[in-house]
Amino acid sequence: MRAHPINRRALLGGSAGLALGAAVSGAAGATSASGAALPVGDLPGWKQVIREDFTTAVPRGGFVASPTTYGELATTCAAYRAYGKRLGVYGNGPVNTYGYYDVSKTLSTSGSLLDMYLHHDTATNRNVSAAVFPFRAGSTTNAHLYGRWSYRMRSYNATGTNWACVSLLWPDVDSQWPMAGEIDWPEGDVRAVPSGARGNVAGFFHPRGAQSGHEGTVPIPGLNGLWTNWHTYTIEWLPNSLKCYLNNHLVLSRTTRVPSTPMRWITQSCPSNDNRGAPLRPAGSAHVQIDWVVAYDRA
């Protein structure tokens, strides 16, 4: 699994075991930092295969990318001791002209939240961000052909400018993009004070068969939601059917040119782009927080 750059425009089948977060029981988690409990268990027509709610605290600096196996945590770091192979990350390296992935300077967990701290690191003179994703049990991937993903996230203290984030389904084989398609939900600038569309929730569906990253792109409306508020995002993907939900409200439904090859889920951040797709230099800082992530296979 290698980094997928998100500088191309305005701004990603393992075993059937269940990847479990700590201390979950019953039909839903008892408490939640975001006000919406972790979904626990199967849904009609869906078998839950990933469930993560970040209950073990790991301070910033405790996440370290493996120096030998791209996409995995270093086995000597605190995050690996806490989460084992339940979580994966992108290795250190440039994401675009102004951004650099470095999980040791950006990721932490506390209060049952995963926090991604986007900022300028003075020690390295880099604008640092990260990418993170849960794995299936017994596997170092979360790729599957069709499925359902739900995740609860927001931006926090996002006072800086030109910081962006995207949660997406991306082809499991990188070289299949853009022909295989892509689903970005949500994607955009995470700042706290909107300026035009910036700070507002939005997304993009890139259809199967596209010859470029722009061809046939369909915007996903965000119902005037803001990144700074907690929202539950859901992607439901079946043969010839793609649906996206915001807090259980259907915001996109497509039945044509729906992706039909395995895809993997990732949340990643970097400096924003301008309307032509050119990276912008960020200033200040922002946090992106994830309360929980769940995934399902067709039953």
Q: What is the pLDDT of residues 62-106, one digit of tens each?
A: 999 999 999 999 999 999 999 999 999 999 999 999 999 999 999
In degrees rounded to 5, what are phi and psi of residue 263?
A: -135, 160
CA 268-209-46 angle, to 5 degrees, is: 60
Classified by CATH at the fold level, domain 19-54+115-125+138-298 comes out as: Jelly Rolls (2.60.120)
Tell me the H-state helices in 47-204: 78-83
Angle at 168 between CA 293 and CA 59, to 5 degrees: 50
Q: Tell me the sheet residues that pair with 233.
A: 151, 246
Rg (the chain; Cα; Å): 17
The span from the CA of 230 to the CA of 247, in Å, is 9
Counts for the chain of helices (H) and strands (E), in that order: 1, 19
CA 96 vs CA 5, 7, 126, 145, 219: distances in Å: 7, 6, 11, 29, 23
Query: Of 87, 82, 89, which Cα lies nearest the Cα of 67?
Result: 89
Q: How many CB atoms lie within 10 A of CB 125?
A: 8
Are 229 and 223 in contact by the 8 Å Cβ rule? The answer is no
- Determine the straight-line distance between the first and last CA of the chain, rounded to whole angstroms: 27
pLDDT value for 140: 87
- Residue 174, SS3 per DSSP: helix
Question: How many residues are given for the chain?
Answer: 299
Cβ neighbours for 84, distance < 8 A, ≥ 6 positions apart: none
- The per-residue pLDDT for 32 is 84
Q: What is the mean pLDDT of each run of 10 residues along the chain (299 residues)?
A: 38 39 42 91 97 97 96 97 96 94 98 98 97 92 95 96 96 96 96 70 96 94 94 98 98 98 97 88 97 97
The pTM for the full model equals: 0.90
Sequence-distant (6+) residues with CB within 8 A of 3 are 90, 91, 93, 95, 101, 131, 268
Q: What is the pLDDT of residue 77?
A: 98
**So what's the pLDDT on residue 197?**
56
CA-to-CA dists, residue 203 to 7, 121, 186, 217, 233, angstroms:
15, 29, 5, 10, 11
**Residue-level pLDDT at 276:** 81
